[in-house]
Structure 1
Amino acid sequence: MDVSPILISMKTASVTIVITFFLGVAAARWVVGLRSKHLRTIMDGLLTLPLVLPPTVAGFFLLYIFGVKRPVGEFFLNYFGYKIAFSWSATVLAATVVAFPLMYRSARGAFEQVDENLIFAGRTLGLSEREIFWKIMMPNAVPGVLSGGVLAFARGLGEFGATAMIAGNIAGKTRTLPLAIYSAVSAGDMDKAWDYVAIIVVISFLTVVGMNYFSGKEKKQAKRGQRHVS
């Protein structure tokens, strides 16, 4: 069995989760802090849009932006000599765009569940908004944020449609596990396809276990907070 799709997928998902984690947490913090309800609704819709769009549509937009003859793609090619489309970087780009909404929504939900009394108390004590975030919001939201990170990692690992559009299906370069499964089935090699499917299923199962673990910790933490308040 060719292990390159496994290595490419793990490498892509690992880089993707680092980018997605920090972007998702930062975006969630910003949206939660918006005073305008209408602006919050609009920004939430824009940031969540890749979650509801078909992956091929998201990939189409990425290809339109980062293609060789397109604004950003042409800029990178002319000034840095680097082609984004149909490169390994494109697999990271596609996985990041598709996985980002899951990280963002999970982080935002976790921040919104933090007891407001704790935030008000922090402001009363003279803490800055940055201190409130790092000393109050983030510690209380850690289980939910980590749960979103696990989910985003799995989503990045299993990305297919957007990756196929902007990165292609180049063996040893951009062929991730989902693309390897598709290629094996197309070639009639069902044994190889089953091998890759088994790997994806195991990773997905471990992801569900991880999500349940962090979700359980989040619920226990919320119950402790309610007892403390009462």
Structure 2
Amino acid sequence: MEWSWFPVQLSFFVAFIATILALLIGTLTAHIMVTRKVKGRAVLETIFFLPLVLPPTVIGFLLIIIFGKNSPVGEAVEWFTGRSVLFTATAAILAAAVVAFPLMYQSVKTGFLSVDQNIIGAAKVDGATNWKMLLLITLPLSYRAIITGVILSFTRAFGEFGATLMVAGNIPEKTQTIPTAIYLAMETGNTKIAWYYVIISILFSFILLFSINRMKEN
């Protein structure tokens, strides 16, 4: 195994796209859960947080079942794109988005709940719709919580390993991310190369988490 920038580049790309997906879905979901009376709220939120506690291999297994060739979703994707989503960079993005979603959802929801309800009430009296309030009031007033969610989700997606290994594999120059590159380096006895990837991962994660703490202090 030789040193390559590809795992670093792919890890950033996967984490970036996965974070965007988690942000969009997490924001929409949090908005619905906060502003509407949702039946089975406790059950739904329990499902949302399962990726935080389930073994990554369970997440990977479920993604294989959902997007495999024998599933309706997998067949539809293969018919539309001409190939299976498994063992591609797209599969790595899906795995990263799933494990990052709970962190995004919780952060955004916390931000939404912290918005002064008097402001929301005044906006409703003035005739603002739920979507206008979301775009013009709730999101701007929740920006700190949203930024925190983005950073935590990106960091989590950047370090995803177990589910990614199952659904995307560890194919050099194709689906190999930093975590899977470290795994392969250790398996092949290339400790020096593993250290390179470990240092990059630690430094980048430290910078992101440090930025959250600095933001809380200000």
TM-score of the pair, normalised by structure 1? 0.89
SS at match of 1:24: helix
Q: Which amino acid aligns with 2:174?
A: K
Q: Which amino acid aligns with 2:172?
A: A
Look up the match of 1:62: 63
Asked if structure 2 preserves the Cα contact closer than 8 Å seen for 1:17 and 1:153, the reply is yes
Q: Does structure 1 residue 83 correspond to structure 2 residue 84?
A: yes
SS at match of 1:159: coil
Shift of 1:68: 2.3
Shift of 1:79: 4.1
Look up the match of 1:25: 27
RMSD of aligned alpha carbons: 1.4
Look up the match of 2:123: 122
SS at match of 2:173: coil
Summarize deviations over 1:24-77 as a string: whole Å, max 9, x none: 1111111111224x5322221222221221111111100111122332222222
Asked if structure 2 preserves the Cα contact closer than 8 Å seen for 1:169 and 1:179, the reply is yes
Q: Which amino acid aligns with 1:25?
A: T
Summarize deviations over 1:78-127 as a string: whole Å, max 9, x none: 34312100111100011011111111111001101111111112122222
In terms of mean alpha carbon deviation, does 184-193 or 77-86 score higher? 77-86
Q: Number of paired residues?
A: 216
Look up the match of 1:184: 185
Of the three residues 3, 6, 9, the one matched with 2:5 is: 3
Q: Structure 1 regions of 5+ residues with no counterpart? A: 218-230
Q: Structure 2 regions of 5+ residues with no counterpart? A: none
SS at match of 2:127: coil
TM-score of the pair, normalised by structure 2? 0.94
Q: Which amino acid aligns with 1:57?
A: V
Q: Which amino acid aligns with 2:193?
A: K
Q: Does structure 1 residue 215 correspond to structure 2 residue 216?
A: yes
Residues in 1 aligned to 2:77 and 2:6: alpha-carbon distance in whole angstroms: 27
Shift of 1:216: 3.7
Go from structure 1 to structure 2 and tell me whether the alpha carbon gap of 1:154 and 1:9 turns closer, same or farther (over 3 Å shift). Answer: same
Asked if structure 2 preserves the Cα contact closer than 8 Å seen for 1:146 and 1:214, the reply is no
Shift of 1:211: 1.6
Look up the match of 1:44: 45
Deviating 4+ runs (over 4 angstroms): none
Residues in 2 aligned to 1:21 and 1:53: alpha-carbon distance in whole angstroms: 21
Structure 1 segment 129-148 matched on structure 2, within 5 A = 129-148=130-149
Residues in 1 aligned to 2:104 and 2:216: alpha-carbon distance in whole angstroms: 14
